[in-house]
């Protein structure tokens, strides 16, 4: 007979067999406090129980990797004795319930993960997914977008870390479950990375930062369940962010880390004090004993259960060397922070929680962390895939290229995101070399000649059609984006956003995506150093598209070589690197235009279709292209570089002309035999990977073509910059001829116009 009835277990998100395992681990029935502790540590969010066996397939090692998955963040060597420390994390569920605070605390959480490693955070990025801005749910979506953007801005701007890039996409499936993925990167001395370890029996355990309240209790459990129409009732499980408190914590922790009084530190994020104590103990192979009466509390009458499970923000747990207490306390005092000694390190391997001296929980750390359940969940290929792969273009009426370009440029996914990024301070710390909206984010590393480029990318539509290739394309696009900025990709972090893994078709997508990502990482030689899995992204039983989001970090040895996407001078030559057109040179002969348009933004926006085979990808060609871009930028051959992705070559050409100060282009794309209407559209709007549009000074054309040949990358001069029009012909036949200023106005104003409407 269990001490807790099934309703209690259900409320804790624990299955009956999981309860049995708890009893087995303890050798007795757990108390309610212990049950609460197990429930958060064994939640999907903290334990990765559905994904763990598959995540092992990802390549996590490489010559530059200093820290792979398992710590608060990953780290790669960037030379000069420095490390780039970075990670991406989701805050999807809280952002749906309370957009401003959900997004703000997401930013706060990932920043803590970075400075916990001893790194000074210098850049933020985000990947956002929302429902459509129009239609029945449009008004709510617009409010969500405004709240999320304001929350990211409110936290990042205040704490003074620039938000330098990211991406936003709109798709029906995110209407009831938006995605908010936030990435942070910091710089540390590579010989001074700080770990989240406890150690040294008798060393004191300190709690620093905001007081503990009843907010966020069971946040991790909430993030491990589907949503329904009662989700608004879960609002108390969302925390409120205080960027000022975090700024103080950041500065005080970095000051403390300059000395050697610290053993280990971990932030209290998901699962709060429970997770920080048990993980630090488990990593250090020791025990931790705390008394909750010493935990600073903002409310009276809190129970040990509440204190252990609270997810109040801006709190850190530290283990410091015995005898150095005064030194540590003085540093926090300088920053007006109270460091409370709440316990000490023991040799028992147990998490021992006391309340006024009386033991209220006693659990082996290993049982909470290392021995959490791991599931090999069943998978099944979803049936819808057979349907959606059929694409019969002949049943559709083709749209004129110019009209199609207009529709794409004004669609929220492609339109300028200036309305968003002007709300983000993207220049603070005076490192931003490529301003927001101009391609990958690029920050210099002061005191060195180097710069880092970073990009977050993903495409749910591709992954809906083919999660394996979709995940590969996400990595390839992020890598290509940093390469366009002049960087060599050196590491990646991933955020896997999926539905309920207990459903075999969802689980199939997750496994496919991880395996695809793994293959692509190996092919492009980019290790994954950490990340986050967000499951149960479902509302009322409807799952989001499988949406792996990949953040890639690239190194630019000479910061002065950093490039943006826009044309720089009239009269420069425009060269298309990679397969020549949307259908892709490298594809088997005879592939129909339909292959080129599969999964494209064109099909979705102009024909309301999400169908076909996802864009072509050749990882060998992609690898050669990355190598070419690295050499060409280091040799200062290029004036601008912009990759082809959403909206295909036509959108890439238009975006290269935008923000250039009015430099148009005259482009003629090659025709292959007799070109039908669909062939032209596929060449202009197909989204095959592995292609980049560059502009070069006339004198650099020859050297670039030679270098491309040397690297084995097809390169074709397709036109010249200049004039005040975007003029594109295909095989000499006019396709697009549009005044640049008109096209640019349409593109610049489209997103802002949604928010000029009265709120419904």
Partner 1 sequence: MKFAVVVFPGSNCDHDAYHAARHVLGQDAVFVWHKETSLQGADAVILPGGFSHGDYLRTGAIARFSPVMNTVTAFARGGGPVLGICNGFQILLEAGLLPGAMLRNKDLKFHCEHVHLRVEQTDTPFTLRAPVGQTLRIPIAHGEGNYFAEPDVLRDLEASRRVVFRYCDTSGIATPGSNPNGAVNNIAGICNEGRNVVGLMPHPERACEPALGSADGLVLFESVVSALAAQASLP
- Looking at the Cβ atoms of 446 and 745, the one nearer to partner 1 is 446
Active site residue 91: yes
In the complex, least distance from residue 567 CB atom to partner 1, rounded to whole angstroms: 17
- Looking at the Cβ atoms of 255 and 358, the one nearer to partner 1 is 255
In the complex, least distance from residue 252 CB atom to partner 1, rounded to whole angstroms: 10
From 91, 93, 218, 607, the catalytic residue: 91
For the record, the structure tokens of 129 come out as 């997914």
Question: Do the beta carbons of residue 155 and residue 184 sit within 8 Å?
Answer: no
| Residue 753 touching partner 1 (CB under 8 A) | no
Q: Beta-carbon neighbour count of residue 716 at 10 Å?
A: 17
Give the C-alpha separation, 478 to 629, whole Å: 14
| Residue 427 touching partner 1 (CB under 8 A) | yes
Query: Which range of residues in 345-353, 426-434, 479-487, 520-528 is near partner 1 by CB under 8 A?
Result: 426-434
Handedness of CA 543, 547, 548, 552 (dihedral sign): negative
| Residue 258 touching partner 1 (CB under 8 A) | no
Q: Which of 57, 140, 158, 375 binds partner 1 (CB under 8 A)?
A: 158
- What beta strand segments (E) does 498-648 contain? 528-534, 538-539, 542-543, 547-556, 573-577, 640-643
Give the C-alpha separation, 499 to 423, whole Å: 31
Q: Which of 48, 305, 332, 424 binds partner 1 (CB under 8 A)?
A: 424
- Looking at the Cβ atoms of 563 and 692, the one nearer to partner 1 is 563
| Residue 425 touching partner 1 (CB under 8 A) | yes
In the complex, least distance from residue 410 CB atom to partner 1, rounded to whole angstroms: 22
Q: Which of 433, 496, 577, 665 binds partner 1 (CB under 8 A)?
A: 433
| Residue 367 touching partner 1 (CB under 8 A) | no
Q: Which of 254, 335, 586, 739 binds partner 1 (CB under 8 A)?
A: 335
In the complex, least distance from residue 50 CB atom to partner 1, rounded to whole angstroms: 39
Q: Of 662, 623, 655, whose CA–CA distance to 741 is shortest?
A: 662
Phi, psi of 52 (to 5 degrees): -55, -45
Query: Which range of residues in 157-165, 227-235, 470-478, 516-524 is near partner 1 by CB under 8 A?
Result: 157-165
- Residue 7 vs residues 25, 30, 218, 266, 314: alpha-carbon distances, Å: 22, 16, 16, 33, 32
- Looking at the Cβ atoms of 247 and 389, the one nearer to partner 1 is 247
From residue 114 to residue 153, the character string flagging contacts with partner 1 as x (rule: CB under 8 A) and all else as - is ------------------------------------x--x
From residue 591 to residue 630, the character string flagging contacts with partner 1 as x (rule: CB under 8 A) and all else as - is ----------------------------------------
- Looking at the Cβ atoms of 163 and 402, the one nearer to partner 1 is 163
HSE value, Cβ hemisphere, 13 Å, CA-based, for 700: 19
From residue 537 to residue 566, the character string flagging contacts with partner 1 as x (rule: CB under 8 A) and all else as - is ----------------------xx------
Give the C-alpha separation, 54 to 76, whole Å: 23
In the complex, least distance from residue 428 CB atom to partner 1, rounded to whole angstroms: 6
Give the C-alpha separation, 151 to 610, whole Å: 31
Query: Which range of residues in 17-25, 166-174, 334-342, 456-464 is near partner 1 by CB under 8 A?
Result: 334-342
Phi, psi of 17 (to 5 degrees): -70, -30
Considering only CA atoms, give the Rg of the chain.
26
| Residue 661 touching partner 1 (CB under 8 A) | no
Element (H, E) at 45: helix 44-47
Query: Which range of residues in 274-282, 333-341, 373-381, 528-536 is near partner 1 by CB under 8 A?
Result: 333-341
Query: Which range of residues in 255-263, 353-361, 429-437, 703-711 is near partner 1 by CB under 8 A?
Result: 429-437
Q: Which of 214, 321, 429, 739 binds partner 1 (CB under 8 A)?
A: 429
Give 211-246 as a 3 state SS string: CECCCCCCHHHHCCCCECCCHHHHHHHCCCCCHHHH
In the complex, least distance from residue 311 CB atom to partner 1, rounded to whole angstroms: 21
Question: Do the beta carbons of residue 422 and residue 437 sit within 8 Å?
Answer: no
Q: Which of 17, 336, 386, 392 binds partner 1 (CB under 8 A)?
A: 336
| Residue 159 touching partner 1 (CB under 8 A) | yes
Give the C-alpha separation, 323 to 319, whole Å: 12
Subset of 36-55 contacting partner 1 (CB under 8 A): none
Give the C-alpha separation, 418 to 397, whole Å: 33
Question: Do the beta carbons of residue 47 and residue 373 sit within 8 Å?
Answer: yes
- Looking at the Cβ atoms of 160 and 541, the one nearer to partner 1 is 160
In the complex, least distance from residue 426 CB atom to partner 1, rounded to whole angstroms: 6
| Residue 430 touching partner 1 (CB under 8 A) | yes
Active site residue 45: yes
- Residue 252 vs residues 56, 121, 255, 528: alpha-carbon distances, Å: 36, 14, 5, 30
Mark out the alpha helices in 259-353 (DSSP H runs). 272-284, 304-309, 325-334
Subset of 189-248 contacting partner 1 (CB under 8 A): 242-245, 247-248
In the complex, least distance from residue 168 CB atom to partner 1, rounded to whole angstroms: 17
Exposure b/e, 372-403, CB count within 10 A at least 16 = b: bbeeebebeebeeeeebeebebeebebbebbe
From 12, 45, 93, 607, the catalytic residue: 45
Q: Of 432, 562, 383, 410, whose CA–CA distance to 163 is shortest?
A: 432
Mark out the alpha helices in 485-576 (DSSP H runs). 504-524
Query: Which range of residues in 212-220, 266-274, 428-436, 574-582 is near partner 1 by CB under 8 A?
Result: 428-436
| Residue 444 touching partner 1 (CB under 8 A) | yes
Give the C-alpha separation, 359 to 262, whole Å: 27
| Residue 422 touching partner 1 (CB under 8 A) | yes
- Looking at the Cβ atoms of 436 and 727, the one nearer to partner 1 is 436
Which residues have a Cβ under 8 Å from the Cβ of 554 and sit 6 or more positions away? 440, 452, 453, 454, 479, 482, 483, 485, 487, 488, 489, 490
Query: Which range of residues in 50-58, 331-339, 549-557, 640-648 is near partner 1 by CB under 8 A?
Result: 331-339
| Residue 713 touching partner 1 (CB under 8 A) | no
> Looking at the DSSP assignment, which residues form a beta bridge with residue 262?
320
Contacts of 130-133 with CB under 8 Å at 24 or more apart are 130/168, 130/169, 130/170, 130/174, 130/175, 130/178, 131/170, 131/171, 131/172, 131/173, 131/174, 131/175, 131/176, 131/178, 132/170, 132/171, 132/172, 132/175, 133/170, 133/412, 133/754
In the complex, least distance from residue 334 CB atom to partner 1, rounded to whole angstroms: 8
Which residues have a Cβ under 8 Å from the Cβ of 671 and sit 6 or more positions away? 730, 731, 732, 733
- Looking at the Cβ atoms of 264 and 437, the one nearer to partner 1 is 437
For the record, the structure tokens of 438 come out as 């101009």
| Residue 432 touching partner 1 (CB under 8 A) | yes
Q: Which of 61, 446, 745, 757 binds partner 1 (CB under 8 A)?
A: 446
- Residue 442 vs residues 94, 164, 316, 427: alpha-carbon distances, Å: 29, 7, 30, 11
In the complex, least distance from residue 427 CB atom to partner 1, rounded to whole angstroms: 5
Q: Total residues contacting partner 1 (rule CB under 8 A)?
A: 33
| Residue 423 touching partner 1 (CB under 8 A) | yes
Residues in contact with partner 1 by CB under 8 A are: 150, 153-154, 157-160, 242-245, 247-248, 334-336, 421-430, 432-433, 435, 444, 446, 559-560
Catalytic residues: 45, 91
């Amino acid at each position: 007979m269990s001490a807790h009835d099934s309703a209690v277990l259900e409320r804790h998100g624990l299955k009956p067999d999981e309860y049995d395992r708890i009893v087995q681990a303890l050798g007795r029935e757990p108390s309610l406090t212990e049950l609460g502790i197990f429930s958060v540590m064994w939640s999907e969010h903290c334990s990765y129980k559905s994904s763990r066996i598959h995540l092992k397939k990802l390549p996590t090692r490489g010559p530059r990797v200093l820290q792979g998955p398992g710590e608060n963040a990953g780290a790669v060597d960037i030379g000069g004795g420095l490390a780039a420390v970075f990670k991406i994390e989701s805050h999807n569920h809280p952002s749906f319930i309370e957009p401003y605070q959900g997004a703000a605390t997401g930013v706060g959480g990932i920043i803590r993960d970075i400075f916990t490693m001893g790194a000074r955070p210098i850049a933020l990025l985000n990947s956002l997914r929302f429902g459509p801005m129009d239609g029945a749910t449009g008004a709510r979506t617009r409010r969500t977008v405004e709240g999320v953007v304001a929350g990211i801005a409110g936290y990042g701007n205040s704490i003074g870390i620039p938000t330098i890039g990211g991406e936003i996409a709109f798709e029906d499936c995110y209407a009831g479950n938006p995605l908010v993925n936030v990435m942070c990167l910091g710089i540390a001395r590579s010989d001074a990375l700080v770990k989240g370890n406890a150690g040294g029996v008798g060393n004191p355990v300190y709690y620093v930062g905001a007081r503990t309240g009843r907010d966020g209790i069971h946040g991790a459990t909430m993030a491990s369940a589907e949503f329904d129409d009662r989700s608004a009732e879960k609002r108390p499980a969302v925390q409120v962010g205080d960027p000022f408190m975090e700024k103080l914590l950041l500065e005080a922790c970095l000051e403390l880390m300059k000395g050697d009084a610290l053993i280990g530190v971990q932030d209290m994020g998901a699962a709060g004090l429970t997770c920080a104590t048990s993980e630090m103990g488990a990593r250090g192979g020791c025990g931790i004993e705390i008394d909750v009466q010493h935990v600073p509390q903002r409310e009276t009458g809190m129970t040990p259960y509440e204190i252990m499970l609270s997810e109040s923000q801006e709190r850190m747990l530290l283990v410091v060397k015995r005898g150095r207490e005064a030194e540590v306390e003085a540093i926090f005092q300088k920053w007006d922070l109270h460091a409370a000694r709440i316990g000490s390190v023991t040799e028992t391997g147990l998490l021992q929680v006391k309340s006024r001296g009386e033991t209220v929980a006693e659990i082996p750390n290993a049982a909470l962390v290392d021995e959490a359940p791991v599931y090999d969940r069943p998978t099944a290929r979803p049936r819808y895939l057979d349907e959606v792969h059929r694409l019969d273009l002949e049943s559709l009426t083709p749209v004129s290229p110019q009209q199609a370009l207009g529709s794409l440029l004004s669609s929220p996914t492609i339109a300028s995101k200036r309305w968003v990024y002007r709300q983000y301070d993207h220049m603070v710390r005076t490192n931003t070399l490529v301003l927001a909206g101009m391609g990958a984010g690029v920050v210099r590393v002061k005191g060195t000649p180097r710069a880092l480029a970073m990009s977050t990318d993903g495409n749910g539509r591709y992954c809906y059609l083919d999660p394996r290739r979709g995940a590969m394309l996400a990595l390839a696009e992020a890598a290509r984006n940093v390469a366009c900025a002049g960087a060599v990709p050196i590491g990646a972090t991933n955020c896997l956003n999926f539905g309920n893994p207990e459903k075999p078709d969802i689980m199939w997508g997750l496994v496919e995506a991880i395996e695809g990502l793994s293959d692509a990482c190996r092919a492009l030689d980019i290790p994954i150093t950490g990340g986050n899995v967000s499951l149960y992204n479902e509302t009322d039983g409807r799952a989001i598209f499988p949406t792996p989001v990949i953040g890639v970090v690239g190194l630019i040895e000479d910061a002065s070589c950093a490039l943006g996407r826009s044309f720089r001078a009239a009269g420069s030559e425009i060269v298309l690197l990679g397969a020549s057109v949307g259908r892709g040179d490298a594809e088997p002969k005879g592939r129909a235009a339909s292959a080129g348009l599969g999964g494209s933004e064109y099909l979705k926006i102009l024909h309301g279709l999400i169908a076909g085979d996802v864009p072509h990808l050749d990882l060998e060609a992609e690898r050669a292209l990355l190598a070419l871009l690295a050499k060409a930028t280091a040799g200062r051959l290029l004036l601008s570089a912009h990759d082809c992705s959403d909206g295909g070559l036509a959108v890439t050409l238009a975006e290269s002309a935008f923000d250039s100060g009015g430099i148009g282009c005259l482009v003629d794309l090659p025709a292959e035999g007799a070109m039908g209407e669909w062939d032209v559209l596929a060449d202009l709007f197909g989204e095959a990977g592995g292609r980049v549009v560059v502009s070069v000074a006339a004198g650099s054309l020859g050297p670039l073509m030679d270098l491309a040949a040397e690297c084995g990358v097809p390169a074709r001069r397709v036109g010249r910059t200049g004039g005040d029009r975007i003029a594109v012909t295909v095989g000499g036949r006019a396709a697009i001829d549009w005044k640049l200023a008109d096209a640019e106005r349409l593109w610049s104003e489209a997103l802002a116009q949604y928010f000029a409407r009265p709120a419904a």
